[in-house]
């Protein structure tokens, strides 16, 4: 029996991409993931997370889907966009498989059944897929923990590339980060940075509105 775990990283930030990763293994290989110390990426230090990822990358088949800020802004529903990306991972990694695959996904929606149905409709070979969408799957299933690590490492790599490309420290990209807030306030109308800001996020809309109101008061 094969297992496929899927998880996301970067769903909540106002800057940078959202990443989904899938890891495909033989079910008896989960012990290797456990032995490596894999767990929900939020519970690992950056150094340990990177070490585990480097140990897994050559051992396990995996696939990553990236959603850019512009793609996120164009989507009317983030949950459905994530369902599309989840199905793409499933279709990619099971393309040449002729046996049943247990797919476990860390569900991003409060409505597990509805979101599972969205994913199921997009699967190209449903006859071989046993789909299970759960909350806290990255905590409860080693194969999903592995996916969590791949997703988080990819997200961090992409953010490092953006900082290097633009030569600016915009913080973590999360809405509560003071550096991120300051960056948005100073650069939301700068075309140079429009590709990295999620303008559809309420946090961004509120910051832009507040700045425009304050500017109007000066005149």
Question: What are the pLDDT digits (tens) for 111-156?
Answer: 999 999 999 999 999 999 999 999 999 999 999 999 999 999 999 9
Same domain, 48 and 143: yes
Same domain, 53 and 141: yes
* Exposure string over 129-161, b if 16+ CB within 10 A, otherwise e: bebebbeebbeebbbbbbbbbbbbbbbbebbee
Q: Say how far apart CA 71 and CA 210 lie, in whole Å.
A: 25
| Domain CATH number, residue 177 | 1.10.10
Query: Tell me: the pLDDT tens digits for 156-180?
Result: 999 999 999 999 999 999 999 999 9
- Assess whether pLDDT exceeds 80 at residue 69: yes
Same domain, 173 and 154: no
Same domain, 111 and 171: no
Same domain, 212 and 144: no
Same domain, 97 and 183: no
Q: Say how far apart CA 173 and CA 134 lie, in whole Å.
A: 26
Q: What are phi and psi of 8, to 5 degrees?
A: -115, 165
At 3 the three-state DSSP class reads strand
Same domain, 158 and 173: no
In the chain, the number of structural domains is 2
Q: Say how far apart CA 123 and CA 90 lie, in whole Å.
A: 7
Query: Tell me: the pLDDT tens digits for 190-212?
Result: 999 999 999 999 988 988 887 66
Same domain, 8 and 105: yes
| Domain CATH number, residue 11 | 3.30.420.10
pTM: 0.93
Same domain, 19 and 118: yes
Same domain, 107 and 211: no
Q: Domain containing 183: what range?
A: 167-217
Same domain, 175 and 140: no
């Amino acid at each position: 029996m094969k297992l496929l775990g899927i998880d996301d990283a970067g769903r909540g930030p106002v800057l940078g991409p959202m990443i989904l990763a899938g890891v495909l293994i033989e079910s008896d290989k989960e012990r290797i993931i456990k032995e490596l110390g894999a767990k929900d990426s939020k519970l690992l230090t950056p150094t340990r997370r990177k070490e585990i990822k480097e140990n897994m990358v050559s051992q396990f088949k995996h696939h990553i889907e990236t959603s850019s800020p512009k793609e996120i802004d164009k989507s009317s529903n983030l949950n459905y966009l994530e369902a599309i990306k989840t199905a793409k991972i499933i279709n990619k990694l099971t393309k040449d498989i002729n046996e049943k695959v247990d797919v476990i996904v860390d569900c991003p929606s409060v409505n597990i059944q509805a979101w599972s149905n969205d994913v199921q409709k997009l699967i190209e070979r449903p006859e071989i897929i046993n789909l299970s969408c759960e909350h806290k799957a990255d905590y409860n299933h080693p194969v999903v923990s592995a996916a969590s690590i791949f997703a988080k490492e990819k997200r961090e790599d992409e953010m490092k590339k953006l900082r290097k490309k633009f030569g600016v420290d915009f913080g973590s990209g999360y809405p509560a980060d003071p550096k991120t807030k300051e960056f948005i306030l100073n650069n939301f109308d700068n075309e140079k940075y429009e590709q990295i800001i999620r303008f559809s996020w309420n946090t961004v809309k509120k910051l832009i509105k507040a700045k425009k109101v304050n500017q109007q008061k000066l005149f």
